[in-house]
């Protein structure tokens, strides 16, 4: 059965789950990152209507509860990973508040603005290709980010987006998971669960 990560109850509930896994002083640092992200993302929602902050918290849950990540910079980057891409927040704002390492991780998983004359599809392809050279910590954030986005793929309101997102994940994200045993197994189970979206065969992952 596909493991699904929940954060609908909000940060206070997630925080309780992290007690004993993450040091108290690091939880306090995460409090600051969550507050920062909530302020910037404001009333943004996900495609199915959930508050956007749920996605950010799910990414943290994946990293801590499934992968065992306790590096506070990685966890803060997980909370902040969309703040530059999806709000008016600047990368320098992140760097000033949370330090250079967090800013570098956020930058790796942020889609850059399109270059002049570049199509949306070309820009996205370039972003996904660049991830193949991402440092390990940035890759962890990206794998957890995409996991949160696709773990309930069937709730996306647009069938054509479900199919394109499934295919993109198989083509560009699943290969990145192969060096991480837990993510490799999770994405294999996910592909088995949602393969019907594109008539895909899950057996290719095990070869």
pLDDT band, residue 206 (cuts 50/70/90): very low
pTM over 0.85: yes
Integer Cα distance of 57 and 77 in angstroms: 11
Answer whether residue 58 shows pLDDT above 80.
Answer: yes
Question: Per the domain annotation, does 94 fall within a domain?
Answer: yes
Question: Per the domain annotation, does 3 fall within a domain?
Answer: no
Question: Per the domain annotation, does 4 fall within a domain?
Answer: no
Question: Per the domain annotation, does 5 fall within a domain?
Answer: no
Question: Per the domain annotation, does 2 fall within a domain?
Answer: no
Q: Which residues fall within 8 angstroms of residue 6, CB to CB, at 6 or more apart?
A: 58, 61
pLDDT digits over 112-143, tens only? Answer: 988 888 998 999 999 999 999 999 999 999 99
* Sole residue written with tokens 């008016």: 88
Domain containing residue 87: CATH number: 1.10.3210.10
Shortest CA distance to 150 belongs to which of 128, 131, 169?
169
Question: Per the domain annotation, does 87 fall within a domain?
Answer: yes
Answer whether residue 36 shows pLDDT above 80.
Answer: yes
Q: Which residues fall within 8 angstroms of residue 23, CB to CB, at 6 or more apart?
A: 70, 72
Encoded tokens for 142: 């990206």
pLDDT score recorded for residue 201: 53
Integer Cα distance of 74 and 7 in angstroms: 18
Answer whether residue 204 shows pLDDT above 70.
Answer: no
How many residues are present in the chain? 207
Question: Per the domain annotation, does 1 fall within a domain?
Answer: no
Question: Per the domain annotation, does 6 fall within a domain?
Answer: no
Report whether 198 contacts 166 (CB < 8 A). Answer: yes
* Sole residue written with tokens 């509930």: 13
What amino acid positions are annotated as catalytic residues? 85-86
pLDDT score recorded for residue 48: 87
Encoded tokens for 145: 């980010």
* Sole residue written with tokens 């996205």: 124
The count of domains in the chain is 1
Answer whether residue 202 shows pLDDT above 80.
Answer: no
- Cα–Cα separations (whole angstroms), residue 191 to 129, 153, 181, 199: 21, 11, 15, 11
pLDDT score recorded for residue 155: 87
Domain that holds residue 26: 11-206
pLDDT digits over 68-94, tens only? Answer: 999 999 999 999 999 999 999 999 999
- Cross-strand partners of 22: 19
pLDDT score recorded for residue 205: 42
Grouping H, G, I as helix, E, B as strand and the rest as coil, residue 22 is: strand
**Phi (first) and psi of residue 174, to 5 degrees:** -55, -45
pLDDT digits over 184-200, tens only? Answer: 999 999 999 999 987 76
pLDDT digits over 135-185, tens only? Answer: 999 999 999 999 999 999 988 888 888 999 999 999 999 999 999 999 999
Q: Which residues fall within 8 angstroms of residue 110, CB to CB, at 6 or more apart?
A: 81, 82, 84, 85, 91
């Amino acid at each position: 059965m596909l493991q699904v990560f929940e954060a609908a109850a909000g940060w206070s509930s997630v925080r309780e789950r992290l007690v004993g896994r993450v040091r108290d002083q690091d939880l306090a640092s995460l409090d600051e990152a969550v507050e920062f992200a909530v302020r910037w993302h404001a009333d943004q929602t996900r495609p199915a209507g959930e508050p956007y902050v749920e996605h950010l918290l799910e990414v943290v849950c994946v990293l801590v509860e499934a992968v065992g990540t306790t590096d506070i910079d990685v966890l803060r980057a997980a909370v902040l990973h969309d703040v530059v891409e999806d709000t008016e927040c600047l990368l320098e704002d992140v760097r000033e508040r949370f330090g250079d390492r967090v800013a570098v991780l956020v930058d790796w998983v942020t889609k850059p603005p399109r270059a002049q004359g570049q199509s949306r599809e070309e820009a996205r392809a370039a972003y996904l290709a660049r991830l193949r050279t991402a440092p390990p910590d940035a890759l962890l954030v990206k794998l957890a980010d995409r996991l949160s986005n696709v773990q309930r793929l069937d709730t996306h309101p647009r069938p054509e987006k479900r199919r394109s997102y499934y295919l993109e994940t198989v083509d560009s994200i699943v290969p990145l998971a192969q060096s991480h045993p837990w993510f490799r197994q999770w994405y294999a189970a996910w592909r088995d669960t949602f393969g019907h979206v594109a008539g895909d065969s899950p057996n290719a992952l095990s070869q």
